[in-house]
Chain A
């Protein structure tokens, strides 16, 4: 089943390109550590999900590109055309001449309704070219104007028009010290609107990915391109084909549905974080070997201590012992707090993957009291290696990972709102104070739900 990707705004389009590129190069990589037939099945599955074929053979990405300025879209299209291994559809993009000025209200109330028909038509055309639609993958940032405002609008329209299809939003969490003054306003408005119309959010924080580039990849001058490539690697390790069940030899057909079924069935808990190890530069790859035991031990500790990468993990954090009274409400300020999970999905790829032992993840102490580990934890194992990593472990987690960042953003936005700073820019385009208050209420509720887990 196929996934239609909607790339929104500067951020969305740049990341989208890297994601497709990473998926394509991995599926055509010869170092898959598996038989030729297996490799072909992998390729075919990846192709079914993300690409379609035309008569003369170059695969076309199942994507719609949307931006209010032409610059980034043109760059993206030309990059794809240059590499000439895959390309975007000829009529798959929509752009205008003027931007959104980082104004969420402008993106949501002006650009949205004005261009709704054209954009939805493009999406419809892409959907018709799928034999069967698994769902939509919308890549956007939270802080800008186009990605965030227009993204929220488009997701709502997707919910209206394709209510039976699944929607996952890939959201880029801005730098804490970002350049856009009103990024906190944009963020809370985006999140609250998406919470009503999307099924799941995969969240990546710019700060975190930046650190990974600096510490793990040893890149001196970190550009957005580097960040996007790390991001694409993480997403690829989640979305590339996996076997449908233990011991099966068929790749699963409905990646979005299976992921969501395991992780986000509850309407209040939709925020997912991704952790991926090992992460290193390509040069170091050839000289490193890992064991599954080591990788999984690190991954588990990263989950428990809310570490963002495999360096600097706090090994002091331990799960609460059973028999002791529950830890009670989480204080957002406590550093040593244990990260409680609601549900986890571990995806393992590579050599000897069947021998990997994930029992440590089934410890009930890791999870909330109202879900058994058998419901809360799933593991997908695939022999075929990903992106030349001999072993690769990814964790998609619905846990308290994002409570602190969310709380921080809500706090900052509230402080600005209390002094009515910059509100007129939003009320000018139809976003009233009521809408702000609704957003605050919803997000406070989300924070409270996650804290009380």
Chain B
């Protein structure tokens, strides 16, 4: 496939067409043109596209149609949480030019196309289930939500909690069952695969053998994916034209105020501006470190002044020792959790499940024992966090009940 040189005239429509071919359900180039002129008919399509791009991965696969207002809300909140610099999008449903700007901002800031292609990738093997979890760092104070229409009987809340616990088990049960059945399929088809390292068939491959119809469908899906991949590659060559055009779109916007004018132009990835940026960052980090040192010094001096007055008897020795130990424990826990989150990045890449004989020299990839170890460590960490949050809640409740003079607080037995 040779490199296509994009010429000046006719290059723009081609670039836009390539972009829309590489996006999932991409809008036609005509929509882009209309959006530049802020035409209302382009808006719904762009809202839908943004929703598709920004909605969390789980929703994407089921793709149940939300009401347009709900879609718009999701898009706005997602853009806001990503730090979209332009003021909140104009009222729905107008504002197709703003939508276009939002789309191109998303394209510019990160590997959007690659992420989208990755999300919709066709897998032929049986995949390790993706483990998604929040960053393990945040441990803020418990947020107490007190919003109900009226007084609610505590028993009803307990009832609903119990129901939730029972329903929780459903996905666990079905996953256990899926695992057992996968194990059986892998066992029964061992020796059938042509590829040496794999040795047995996956569910998709077994389906293909059983039912030739499905193999046709699979082929079509693969061809679609290929088209999108090719379009994405082409896009890399043509995108400069698109960005030049986007500058004109930005210029076409009415001037809104000093805050907008002072926004730096949206730049593509940092690698194009290399070292200059890095030096800037280094300087900023240096300044930050000096600042921190100053603040730490002053606080330490203040604390020492405070503490010098207090006694130095034998009881202080034990207290200090206890404090040291607890600080060390907390530090170790924090370090542990940080290490976990950095190592567990491996788990987020897709992995194919392969059953192999014990002791056989394994090809590259994670071993099940290692994954189990990583997950157990994560589980322990999360349990510790849960425990901590629970005791914070209990302390808060005890404090609240202490303010009511006639109330006796009896803790329920642990389940």
Contact = CB atoms under 8 A, between A and B. Distances in A.
B180 A131 contact: yes
Nearest to B172: A164
B177 to A, nearest CB: 4
Nearest to A134: B173
A260 B177 contact: no
A164 B415 CA distance: 13
Contact of B155 (A131, A134, A196, A370): A370
Interface centre among A260, A266, A368, A371 (most CB of B within 10 A): A266
A268 B177 CA distance: 31
B181 A131 contact: yes
A434 B128 CA distance: 51
Nearest to A262: B163
A132 B173 contact: yes
B177 A265 contact: no
Contacts of B169: 164, 166, 257
B158 A266 contact: yes
- The interface residues of chain B, by DSSP majority, are classed as helix
A254 interface: yes
Contacts of B413: 196
Interface string A241-281: 00000000000001001001100111110000000000000
A1 B175 CA distance: 12
Nearest to B173: A132
B165 interface: yes
Given A131-B181, A265-B166, A371 B156 contact: yes
B153 A370 contact: yes
Contact of B163 (A131, A164, A265, A370): A265
A375 B159 contact: yes
B373 interface: no
Contact of A257 (B161, B166, B415): B166
Nearest to B162: A265
Interface string B141-166: 00000000000010110111111011
Contacts of B163: 261, 265
Chain B, interface size: which category?
Answer: 20 to 34
Nearest to B158: A266
A369 interface: yes
Given A132-B173, A254-B170, A266 B181 contact: no
Contacts of B170: 254, 257
B167 interface: yes
B176 A260 contact: no
A266 B176 contact: no
Contacts of A261: 163, 166-167
Nearest to A261: B166
A266 B173 contact: no
A134 B163 CA distance: 16
25 contacts: A1-B173, A1-B177, A132-B176, A132-B177, A132-B180, A133-B176, A134-B173, A166-B169, A196-B413, A254-B170, A257-B169, A264-B162, A265-B159, A265-B160, A265-B161, A265-B166, A266-B155, A266-B158, A266-B159, A267-B158, A267-B415, A268-B155, A368-B155, A370-B156, A375-B159
Interface of B: 153, 155-156, 158-163, 165-167, 169-170, 172-173, 176-177, 180-181, 413, 415
Closest 7 CB pairs of A and B: A265-B162, A370-B153, A132-B177, A261-B166, A265-B163, A370-B156, A266-B159
